[in-house]
Each structure stands twice: as structure tokens, then as C-alpha cells.
């Protein structure tokens, strides 16, 4: 069993993010899924990004970092797109991290100090042709981080794992869930 901090994407803590958290819980994991948007959700990705921009990406990242306050050090951080920012920050900089799962995004190591901590497993999932998916960064991380796995899925949808959004791809999302659960079982 792993304890997980799951951070939502730019459209907010949607029903699809909550469903993903529930699937991890059903597999026996403890999942914390804070709402860093204070209850706001957005039907369109552009509207969610505009909100994050208005509030400030640094503020969003800080809210995600603060979500770990009071939780055990030994967490796995899971971030959907915008949530990958604080998830990766925490995995790279918070002592005790056990792993990170980055969905739909990844950030260059240099953004958070330039090094990935030894013994912290990393798994990245994105679609091959997703303009927002940071495929080049994901590949670079895979070459740099010893415990990294990168999975690329055919297509160009961004939030394809969120079952409540039009971008949802059932087959690819099912594959992501299986791989994430195997990853967590290996850590737990």
C-alpha cells in the first residue's frame, strides 16, 4: 500500500480526477486529493489555464506544495498536467518521497534544483502528439533519472485519463491505470 498526494489539472478537481483517486483507493492505497482551486472547475481547458494564470502559476504550485503539509514524508506524488508541477517539485525536493507519477506533463529537472533524488521512482504518461504533453521533456527525464519509466500513447489528447472530460480515451486511460497500479504496488 502506498500513500498518495494526487494533484488535479487546470480544469480543477473534476469528477474524473476523483474517480481516478477512487480507483487507487479501491486497490488499497491511501489517497489525498486536495482542491487547490477552492471548488472551482472549468468546462474548458483554456478557461482553467486562464484562471491559473490569473491567480499565478507560482501560487498554484505553492498551494500544491502546501497540500503536503501535515502528511507523512513517505508519499507518492501524482499530478495531472498543471498538478504535475507541484507533484514533481515535491518529489524532487521533499525528503522521504517514494515516487512520482506525472500525467500529461513533465518539467525539466532544472526547474526544481537540477537533480532527481536517488531511490525515488518516476513514471510519466502522455500522448505522443499532445502539444501540451512535454514529450521531449519526458524523454529527457527518462534518460536522466535511473528509476524513470515513460509511456507514450498514440494520439494528441491532453487530459485523456480524466473520464469526465471530452478528451477521455477509455483504452489509453485503462492502460495508464494498470501501469500506475503496478508502479504503486512495486513501491508499496
pLDDT mean over 6-15: 98
Q: Which residue has the cell 501524482?
A: 78
Phi then psi for residue 162, to 5 deg, are: -90, 105
pLDDT at 127: 97
Quickly count: other Cβ atoms within 10 Å of residue 147's Cβ: 15
Per-residue pLDDT tens over the stretch 88-112:
999 999 999 999 999 999 999 999 9
pLDDT mean over 54-75: 95
In angstroms, rounded to a whole number, what is the distance separating the alpha carbons of residues 136 and 26? 33
Phi then psi for residue 157, to 5 deg, are: -75, 145
Q: Which residue has the cell 527518462?
A: 142
Q: 50 pLDDT exceeds 90?
A: yes
pTM above 0.75, yes or no: yes
CATH number of 3-187: 3.40.50.1820
Amino acid at each position: 500500500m502506498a500513500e498518495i498526494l494526487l494533484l488535479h489539472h487546470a480544469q480543477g478537481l473534476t469528477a474524473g480526477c476523483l474517480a481516478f483517486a477512487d480507483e487507487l483507493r479501491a486497490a488499497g492505497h491511501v489517497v489525498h486529493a486536495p482542491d487547490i482551486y477552492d471548488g472551482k472547475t472549468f468546462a474548458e481547458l483554456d478557461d482553467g489555464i486562464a484562471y491559473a494564470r490569473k491567480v499565478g502559476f507560482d501560487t498554484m504550485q505553492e498551494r500544491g506544495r502546501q497540500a503536503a503539509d501535515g502528511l507523512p514524508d513517505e508519499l507518492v506524488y501524482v499530478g495531472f498536467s498543471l498538478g504535475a508541477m507541484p507533484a514533481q517539485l515535491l518529489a524532487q525536493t521533499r525528503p522521504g518521497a517514494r515516487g512520482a507519477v506525472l500525467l500529461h506533463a513533465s518539467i525539466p529537472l532544472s526547474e526544481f534544483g537540477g537533480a532527481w533524488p536517488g531511490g525515488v521512482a518516476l513514471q510519466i504518461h502522455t500522448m505522443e502528439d499532445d502539444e501540451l504533453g512535454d514529450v521531449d521533456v519526458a524523454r529527457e527525464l527518462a534518460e536522466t533519472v535511473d528509476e524513470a519509466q515513460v509511456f507514450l500513447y498514440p494520439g494528441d489528447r491532453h487530459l485523456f485519463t480524466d473520464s469526465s472530460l471530452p478528451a477521455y480515451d477509455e483504452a489509453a486511460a485503462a492502460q495508464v491505470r494498470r501501469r500506475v497500479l503496478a508502479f504503486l504496488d512495486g513501491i508499496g
